[in-house]
A = this chain, B = another copy of it.
Amino acid sequence: METLKKYVSVKDEDHFYHQGAAELLIFNFLLILTILTIWLFKNHRFRFLHETGGAMLYGLVMGLVIRYVTKSADVESGTVYECEKLKSGPSTLLINITNQVYEYQYKREISHHNVNGHQGNAMLQKMTFDPSIFFNILLPPIIFHAGYSLKKRHFFRNLGSILTYAFLGTAISCIVIGLIMYGFVKAMVHIGQLKQWEFHFTDCLFFGSLMSATDPVTVLAIFHELNVDTDLYTLLFGESVLNDAVAIVLTHSISIYSPKENPNAFDAAAFFQSVGNFLGIFAGSFAMGSSYAVVTALISFMHLTKFTKLCEFPMLETGLFFLLSWSAFLSAEAAGLTGIVAVLFCGVTQAHYTYNNLSPDSKMRTKQLFEFMNFLAENVIFCYMGLALFTFQNHIFNPLFIFGALVAVFVARASNIYPLSFLLNLGRKQKIPRTFQHMMMFSGLRGAIAFALAIRDTDSQPKQMMFTTALLMVFFTVWVFGGGTTPMLTWLQIRVGVDPDEDLKARAASQSAPNLDKNTTKAESAWLFRIWYGFDHKYLKPLLTHTGPPLTSTLPEWCNPVARLLTSPSAYGDQLKDDDAVYIINNDELTENCESPAHIPVPAQDSAGSIQATGKEDIQEGDLGLGGYELQLQHAAGQPQKSSLA
C-alpha cells in the first residue's frame, strides 16, 4: 500500500513536470518555425518581415490555437480560500490537505477583480511567464549585447547628439505622451468610459515613460544589411540603446513617485524626490556596471601580462567575463538599482577596455556567445508578445485609449526628433539632413523594453489597459514601420551600400589638412568630451589595457615608481603612437588609432602597430554572424598552432 502511494505521488510530480516540458516545446517549435521562415525570406531577399516580426506572427497564431482549441478546466484554480490564521503572506506555505502536506511557493499578490481571470483554461495560465523572467533573464543579454557591440568610433563621433536624443528626447517624449493621454483619459471620463478615480496624471506619465523606450531592432537589421549611411545608423542605434536605460529608470522613478496627499495635485517635494531618484539610480547603476567592467579589465590585464598564459585558457577567460558581467546586473538589482542599466554600461566599458586584453580566441567567443544569447532572447520575447495577445487573461481593450496612444506616440516622436535635430544642427558641423530626421521619426518602433515594462505590473485596471495598448502598439509599429523600412529608404533617397570604414576615411582625408587648427568649431566632441578622452587615453587605457602611452610618460615624474609597476611592458612599444593620438583629437575625429596609415597623413607612425590596431577594431565591429573573418585571418597568420598540452 505504501509503495503504491509512493508510486502515485511520483506519477503526480511527473505529470506536473511533463507539462512544463510540453510548454517549452511549443516555444521551441515556434522559434524553429521562425528561423526556417526567415532563412527562406533571407534567401529570397524579402525584407518586409524581420525575424522578430515573424516570431510575433507565429506566436499570435499559436496563441489563437491555444485559446480556442485547447480547453482544460482546472476546477479548483479559480477559488479563493480563506485563511484566518495567517497575518501576512509567507514566502513558503505548507498546507495540510486530506492528511498530505503540500508546499506552496509565494508567487504574487493579485487584486480581487483579477481573480476571475484565474478561472477556466489552465493551459493559458501555464503559457503565461512570470513577468520577472523578462527583466532578469531575457533582457540582460539583449542589453549587454547592445552595449558590447556599440561601434565605438562612430558612436563617440556623434556622442553629443546621441545623448541629447536619449536624455532630453526621452523626457520630452514621456511628458508629451503623458499630457496627450491625460487629455484622452479626461475625455473618456467625460463620456463615461472611465471612472474619475481610476487614472491619475502619474499613471499617464508612467504610460508615457514606458512607451518612450524605442526598439528599432527591425530597422537596424535592415540598415545593417543594406549598409545604410553610418551616421544615420549610429544616431539611431546609439539613441535606442541609451534611450532604453533612460526609459527604464524613468519608469521606475515615476512608479515610486508618491505625493503625500492628493495624488492628482502637483507635489513639488515628491517631484524633486523623483528627479533625485532618477539621477541617483541612473548614476548608481552606471557606476556599478562600469566598475565591474573595470575589475574584469584589471583581472584580464594582470593575468595576461604578469602571471602570463591566461590566454591559453579561453574557456576560463570567457567564463570570468560572463560571470562578472552578470554579477554587475545582479549586484545592481540586489542594491536596489536598475540591473539593465548597469549591464548596459558594463557592456560598453567591457568593449572599451577588457576587450583589448582578451586573447583572440576569447574575443571571438565572448562576441559570439552574447550574439547568440541576444538572438535567442529577442526572438523569445517577440514570440511571447504574439502569444500574449491571446493567452493573457486580463486584457482591457479600449478603442479610444488605443487611438489616443497612437496619436500620442507619433506626436511625441515628432516633438522629440524635429526640434532636437534643429537645435543640434545649430552646433553640428556635419548637419543631420532632413531625410535622416524623417527616417529617425519613422524608426520610432516600440519593442521588447516597452513590453517588459508594461507586463511588469498588470495588477490594477489602468495598468491592464496600458499593457494591452502597449502590446498593440508594438504589433503595429513592428509590422507596419518595420516592414516599410526598405520602401521608406528608397522614397527618402537615403544612400545605401556604404562601407563604414571607407566613409570615415574619406571624410577624414577631406578634412585632415585644412582643419588641423580649427579644433574649436565643432559641437561634437566638445570640451567636456575632450577632457574625458585625454584622461582615458593617458591614464585609464594604459592602466587597464595594453594600448596607449606608458604611464611613465603621462603621470608626473614623482609617480614614476608606481607608474612603472602598473604599465604593461608592451605599452612602451606604443609610445610613438601617442603623437598621432593627439593629432587625431585635434582633428576632431575620435578614431582611436584605427585608421590605416595609408589614408591619413600621420607623422612618425609605425605601420605594423597601426595595422594591428585596425584589425582589432574590425573585430570589435563584426556583426551578427558576419564578423570574425578578419580575426580568423589575423589569427591564422599570427599565431602558432598550440593544439595540445595546455
Taking the closest CB of chain B, its distance from the CB of A199, in whole angstroms, is 13
Asked whether B100 lies within 8 Å of A36 as measured between CB atoms, the reply is: no
| A100, A111, A642 — most chain B CB neighbours (10 Å) | A100
* Interface flag for A609 (CB, 8 Å): no
How many Å lie between the Cα of A593 and that of B390 in the bound state?
54
Q: Which residues of B contact A94 (CB under 8 A)?
A: 77-81, 110, 115, 118
Taking the closest CB of chain B, its distance from the CB of A594, in whole angstroms, is 16
How many Å lie between the Cα of A96 and that of B225 in the bound state?
55
* Interface flag for A487 (CB, 8 Å): no
Given A10-B256, A225-B646: A91 touches B16 (CB 8 Å cut-off): yes
Interface size class, chain A: 35 or more
- Residue of B whose beta carbon sits closest to that of A82: B96
Asked whether B108 lies within 8 Å of A103 as measured between CB atoms, the reply is: yes
Asked whether A35 lies within 8 Å of B319 as measured between CB atoms, the reply is: yes
How many Å lie between the Cα of A510 and that of B323 in the bound state?
49
Which of A20-28, A240-248, A552-560, A579-587 has 4 or more CB atoms under 8 Å from chain B? A20-28
* Interface flag for A490 (CB, 8 Å): no
Asked whether A77 lies within 8 Å of B90 as measured between CB atoms, the reply is: yes
Asked whether A642 lies within 8 Å of B625 as measured between CB atoms, the reply is: no
Asked whether B118 lies within 8 Å of A315 as measured between CB atoms, the reply is: no
- Residue of B whose beta carbon sits closest to that of A639: B629
* Interface flag for A480 (CB, 8 Å): no
Given A94-B115, A109-B9, A303-B39: A25 touches B331 (CB 8 Å cut-off): yes
* Interface flag for A191 (CB, 8 Å): no
Taking the closest CB of chain B, its distance from the CB of A458, in whole angstroms, is 13
Q: Give the number of times this chain occurs in the complex, counting copies.
A: 2
Given A29-B327, A32-B327, A327-B29: A319 touches B256 (CB 8 Å cut-off): no
| A32, A315, A457 — most chain B CB neighbours (10 Å) | A315
| A82, A94, A104, A319 — most chain B CB neighbours (10 Å) | A104
Partner of A227, one of B87, B307, B624, B645: B645
Q: Which residues of B contact A639 (CB under 8 A)?
A: 629
Asked whether B39 lies within 8 Å of A313 as measured between CB atoms, the reply is: yes
Which of A149-157, A179-187, A424-432, A630-638 has 4 or more CB atoms under 8 Å from chain B? A630-638
Q: Which residues of chain A from 276 to 335 have a CB within 8 Å of any chain B CB?
A: 299, 303, 307-310, 312-316, 318-320, 322-324, 326-327, 330-331, 333-334
* Interface flag for A178 (CB, 8 Å): no
How many Å lie between the Cα of A369 and that of B373 in the bound state?
10
A85-113 vs B, Cβ < 8 Å mask (1 yes, 0 no)? 11111111111111011111111111110
Asked whether B625 lies within 8 Å of A361 as measured between CB atoms, the reply is: yes
| A16, A118, A334 — most chain B CB neighbours (10 Å) | A334
Taking the closest CB of chain B, its distance from the CB of A46, in whole angstroms, is 13
* Interface flag for A18 (CB, 8 Å): yes
Q: Which residues of chain A from 217 to 242 have a CB within 8 Å of any chain B CB?
A: 225-227
Asked whether A323 lies within 8 Å of B3 as measured between CB atoms, the reply is: no
Asked whether A630 lies within 8 Å of B625 as measured between CB atoms, the reply is: no
* Interface flag for A643 (CB, 8 Å): yes
Taking the closest CB of chain B, its distance from the CB of A308, in whole angstroms, is 7
Partner of A339, one of B21, B28, B32, B255: B21
Partner of A107, one of B104, B303, B313: B104
| A77, A101, A314, A639 — most chain B CB neighbours (10 Å) | A101
How many Å lie between the Cα of A79 and that of B24 in the bound state?
34
Asked whether A110 lies within 8 Å of B106 as measured between CB atoms, the reply is: no
* Interface flag for A611 (CB, 8 Å): no
Q: Which residues of B contact A104 (CB under 8 A)?
A: 93, 104-107
Q: Which residues of B contact A13 (CB under 8 A)?
A: 108-109
Given A36-B320, A104-B106: A87 touches B97 (CB 8 Å cut-off): yes
Q: Which residues of B contact A646 (CB under 8 A)?
A: 42, 225, 625-626
Q: Which residues of B contact A457 (CB under 8 A)?
A: 10
Q: Which residues of B contact A422 (CB under 8 A)?
A: none
- Residue of B whose beta carbon sits closest to that of A30: B323
Asked whether B334 lies within 8 Å of A22 as measured between CB atoms, the reply is: yes
* Interface flag for A411 (CB, 8 Å): no
Given A18-B336, A629-B639, A643-B629: A101 touches B97 (CB 8 Å cut-off): no
Q: Which residues of B contact A644 (CB under 8 A)?
A: 227, 499, 626
Given A17-B333, A323-B31, A643-B622: A109 touches B103 (CB 8 Å cut-off): yes
Q: Which residues of B contact A40 (CB under 8 A)?
A: 307
* Interface flag for A7 (CB, 8 Å): yes
* Interface flag for A273 (CB, 8 Å): no
Taking the closest CB of chain B, its distance from the CB of A592, in whole angstroms, is 20
Taking the closest CB of chain B, its distance from the CB of A493, in whole angstroms, is 19
| A25, A319, A339 — most chain B CB neighbours (10 Å) | A319
Q: Which residues of chain A from 434 to 482 have a CB within 8 Å of any chain B CB?
A: 457, 460
| A14, A81, A326 — most chain B CB neighbours (10 Å) | A81
* Interface flag for A375 (CB, 8 Å): yes
Asked whether A92 lies within 8 Å of B118 as measured between CB atoms, the reply is: yes
* Interface flag for A4 (CB, 8 Å): yes
Partner of A86, one of B95, B310, B632: B95
A–B complex contacts, Cβ < 8 Å, 10 sampled: A16-B106, A21-B333, A39-B313, A42-B313, A77-B90, A87-B98, A91-B122, A101-B112, A316-B625, A499-B644
Besides A35-B319, A102-B107, A315-B625, 20 new A-B residue pairs in contact (Cβ under 8 A), listed by A number: A25-B327, A28-B326, A29-B327, A32-B324, A39-B307, A39-B316, A42-B316, A77-B92, A81-B86, A89-B95, A92-B125, A94-B110, A102-B110, A104-B107, A227-B644, A312-B626, A313-B625, A319-B375, A499-B644, A629-B639
